[in-house]
Amino acid sequence: MTSNTPLVPALPGDAHLSYRDGQLCMEGVRLADLARAHGTPLFVYSSAAIVDALAAYQRGLAGRRSLICYAMKANSTLAILKLLADQGCGFDIVSGGELERALAVGADPAKIIFSGIGKTRTEMARALQAGIGCFNVESLAELDVLSEVAVAQGQRAPISIRVNPNVDPKTHPYISTGLKGNKFGIAHEQALGAYQRAAALPGLRVVGIDCHIGSQITEPTPYLEAMDRILDLVAQIEAAGIPIHHIDFGGGLGIDYSGDTPPAADALWAALLARVDARGYGDRQLLIEPGRSLVGNAGVCLTEVLYLKPGEQKNFCIVDAAMNDLPRPALYQAFHRIVPLQLPQAGASAPTWDVVGPVCESGDWIGRDRALAAQPGDVLAVLSAGAYSMSMSSNYNTRPRAAEVLVSGDQARVIRQREAVADLWRTEQL
């Protein structure tokens, strides 16, 4: 006997993204309704998913002197930042623009840390004027420049030094940041000398130490290895007479894109804190910089099927989202699940398609070799699109950026209007 009941797959995104009566819903809202109301491409986020992801970190750090600084490069949309700020988050920024975004949502400047290898004098001066909590310094040259800027303003800049612990995070090479060949941080072997130099500069005040080994990390071992190397270094620095008040272990925890099994944030921090305590540093303030793990599985991108183009070697499903909306596949060969908004009946034909966008680049693809029972006019959901999608989007091919919607329960509101074409040349001159 053949059943016509559609199969209901398990989806990344917990209970906040699921099929109900065959319709894909985010919290209490049908995504098909949002696509009809606001058009496509369209990013939709679950506020409950973001709050729940943050709560896992808060549970893991409960009872500790700690500060969770959201790495806003993952998604810097103002409403997302405001949601996290209201939950007590600080922010990890990497540009003057991100600083202004954080301040625009009422972030406490003392909870802002400024990372990045190429801070300008103007950015440094503005951050000092705003009263940020710490600069994560990434080179000896930056130490000298920051000291000069601070002295000129009659201040001492609070700093930590980002140390490159040379630990393999076992992730894509483009998002590995803690190996010797990466551009980030100061080599572990040079760190003590860098701290001695920082302590001697008149415009600097050493407050901590920082490391960040990579992104989309799905196992705890690299974190434990990095922690041991950083704590070894803390002991050396303090033996040289330079106190370390906080230890920043960065971010990088991965999410489930397609069967990935990263440790839960609270379980990971239970293991890390046990190591910190065993080493005798449990009294220090702990800073972390999660990004992807807070917002990645909270978002989807809705995209309409424009054309089906069968071929001898490949079948192409052409959609209205493209690499300018979802750059990760083109950049990293990244995988995103792609699912229909309405479940097909069991047994429905599902040919294999490469899901591609309209941009004139061979690299403009969103998913390869996907079994989809799709027809022109159908809307698909690209999952796990809450991180490094809108924040990395562009206007390539003079394509306006998508709209964004935030769902809370059974309510949905637009948090970014779709760009108009005229917006794209508003600042240009003939």
Which pLDDT band holds residue 25 (cuts at 50, 70, 90)?
Answer: very high
Residues 134 and 204 reside in one and the same domain: yes
Residues 213 and 324 reside in one and the same domain: no
Q: Is the pLDDT of residue 34 over 70?
A: yes
Q: What is the pLDDT of residue 176?
A: 42
Q: What is the pLDDT of residue 213?
A: 81
| Residue 360 is a catalytic residue | yes
Q: Is the pLDDT of residue 42 over 90?
A: yes
Residues 133 and 229 reside in one and the same domain: yes
Q: What percent of the chain has pLDDT over 90?
A: 81
Residue ending a domain, among 290, 320, 341, is: 290
Residues in the chain, total:
430
Residues 229 and 333 reside in one and the same domain: no
Whether residue 430 is contained in a domain is answered as no
Residues 303 and 363 reside in one and the same domain: yes
Q: What is the pLDDT of residue 179?
A: 44
Q: How many CB atoms lie within 10 A of CB 161?
A: 27
Residues 268 and 139 reside in one and the same domain: yes
Whether residue 402 is contained in a domain is answered as yes
Residues 279 and 210 reside in one and the same domain: yes
Residues 302 and 282 reside in one and the same domain: no
CA 273 from centroid of its chain's CA atoms: 23
Q: Is the pLDDT of residue 80 over 90?
A: yes
Whether residue 218 is contained in a domain is answered as yes
Residues 260 and 371 reside in one and the same domain: no
Q: Is the pLDDT of residue 183 over 70?
A: no
The 8 Å CB, 24+ separation contacts for 274-283 are 275/224, 275/227, 275/228, 275/231, 276/227, 276/231, 276/247, 279/228, 279/231, 281/231, 281/234, 281/247, 282/64, 283/65
Q: What is the pLDDT of residue 122?
A: 98
Q: How many domains does the chain have?
A: 2
State which H helix or E strand residue 81 sits in.
Answer: helix 78-86
Residues 162 and 190 reside in one and the same domain: yes
Which has the minimum average pLDDT: 191-200, 345-354, 357-366?
345-354
Whether residue 229 is contained in a domain is answered as yes
Interval 172-197 mean pLDDT: 71
Residue ending a domain, among 239, 267, 290, is: 290
Provide the token pair at 405.
């919607």
Provide the token pair at 426.
């508003």
Residues 358 and 310 reside in one and the same domain: yes
Whether residue 6 is contained in a domain is answered as no
Interval 260-265 mean pLDDT: 89
C-alpha dist (Å) from residue 369 to 318, 338, 351, 384, 427: 13, 11, 9, 18, 41
- The sign one gets for the Cα dihedral 301, 302, 306, 308 is positive
Provide the token pair at 172.
């894509």
Interval 396-421 mean pLDDT: 98
Whether residue 250 is contained in a domain is answered as yes
Residue ending a domain, among 261, 290, 319, is: 290
- The sign one gets for the Cα dihedral 122, 123, 128, 134 is negative
Q: Is the pLDDT of residue 101 over 70?
A: yes
Q: What is the pLDDT of residue 181?
A: 55
CATH at residue 280: 3.20.20.10
Integer Cα distance of 256 and 251 in angstroms = 16
In single-letter form, the type of residue at position 309 comes to K
Residues 252 and 314 reside in one and the same domain: no
Catalytic residue (choose from 69, 89, 317, 360): 360
Q: Which structural domain range is residue 178 located in?
A: 115-290
Q: What is the pLDDT of residue 342?
A: 94
